[in-house]
Structure 1
């Protein structure tokens, strides 16, 4: 079982048209995703930014939007031609699933939450360093569903509520204990603030869940 994060961007002026299309195509998209061996998916929107969280049976997955969505989405160049979505780099995950049953089981999910943030370009390496250190020093320490992906200096985080903490925690790859106790104080300087957001969303802005 694998987890994936994808990023897409709407063309200018296409937000409402896209929202309507997703609502109308709900059953079609469900079938399309099932044919792609997708176990679980959540799609989030903020302005022109689209972020998708996905769980699949196997790794090596390379999902993309149906070609009918090309009228609304920007195309991105890639090794095998243009794409309507691009995989994000996994730069932090609190938990690592092994199989669907142990990952989900009968666990209750009240909400699926997606947020976006922007890194200062000169702070990207520091941000990744601290997060890998936390990930491997304290695995599954607060919410095993929490994951952060990156595309350039753009960040997307996904988590499920209530928080899920694994009973059988994996062993981290680091034996050190260097993760700072004043975590938020250390993190704050890494972000390019959202100037048009509410005070509690200056760093991480909430996205609207479409699917």
Structure 2
């Protein structure tokens, strides 16, 4: 968001919410949550087709900075790379409108640790599907990693291993192995804060 426009953006989003939800559903978007941290805005959506493209309402777009990148086109959103999903896409329809809280969390990775982080998450995704929360996904863009999940977790049985290799890769001491990958938000006597919960502006 543009500097100092956080409150105005939240208001513009709230005023457009009802009509915008209908428009998004007509475009094939089944579920949408918009989260913020500081001036950053993160969108999680589930769509009926990969051809659905995200576009802000004019009132919201006017309060956003353009995202830098190649070319001359003004970009008001950039896609994140999908690097982890605990559950299968086809099980998601079973828990729509379940009343669960939708959570967006944000963390930062050390650039030299990106490949290691993705490697271990791919291994876990294949070796232990549905081991944590079948709605849990992680996306990344530059140093940011964004996670989305719903709490409480839907009741699904652990999935069958998707892929095997000569020896298991997922470490038993998962959190200990993961900690060096992160740039902490803060540190205290209680430990380092690696993931921060974001504020929810809109969810349907």
Give TM class, smaller chain: 0.7 to 0.9
| Residues 32 and 145 of structure 1: CA distance in aligned 2, closer, same or farther (over 3 Å) | same
Distance in 2 between residues matched to 1:36 and 1:196, nearest whole Å: 43
| Residues 170 and 122 of structure 1: CA distance in aligned 2, closer, same or farther (over 3 Å) | same
TM-score (norm 1): 0.84
2:13 corresponding residue in structure 1: 22
1:65 corresponding residue in structure 2: 56
1:203 corresponding residue in structure 2: 194
Instruction: Flag structure 2 segments of 5+ consecutive residues without an equivalent.
Output: none
Which one of 149, 169, 175 corresponds to residue 159 of structure 1? 149
Contact 2:137 2:148 survives alignment (8 Å): yes
Which one of 128, 137, 144 corresponds to residue 127 of structure 2? 137
Contact 1:142 1:165 survives alignment (8 Å): no
Instruction: Flag structure 1 segments of 5+ consecutive residues without an equivalent.
Output: 1-9
1:6 corresponding residue in structure 2: none
Alignment of 1:102-117 (within 5 A): 103-104=94-95, 108-117=98-107
Q: What SS does the corresponding residue of 1:18 show, helix, strand or coil? A: helix
1:37 corresponding residue in structure 2: 28
2:78 corresponding residue in structure 1: 86
Shift of 1:34: 1.4
Summarize deviations over 1:157-201 as a string: whole Å, max 9, x none. Answer: 000011125337254133442200111111111111113899577
Contact 1:109 1:160 survives alignment (8 Å): no
Question: Which segment drifts farther, 162-171 or 140-149?
Answer: 162-171
| Residues 201 and 82 of structure 1: CA distance in aligned 2, closer, same or farther (over 3 Å) | farther
Q: Say how many residue pairs are matched.
A: 200
1:169 corresponding residue in structure 2: 159
1:54 corresponding residue in structure 2: 45
Shift of 1:202: 1.4
Shift of 1:121: 1.0
TM-score (norm 2): 0.87
Which one of 81, 84, 98 corresponds to residue 90 of structure 2? 98
Q: What SS does the corresponding residue of 2:7 show, helix, strand or coil? A: helix
Summarize deviations over 1:9-67 as a string: whole Å, max 9, x none. Answer: x1111111111111211112212211221111111111111111111111233212134
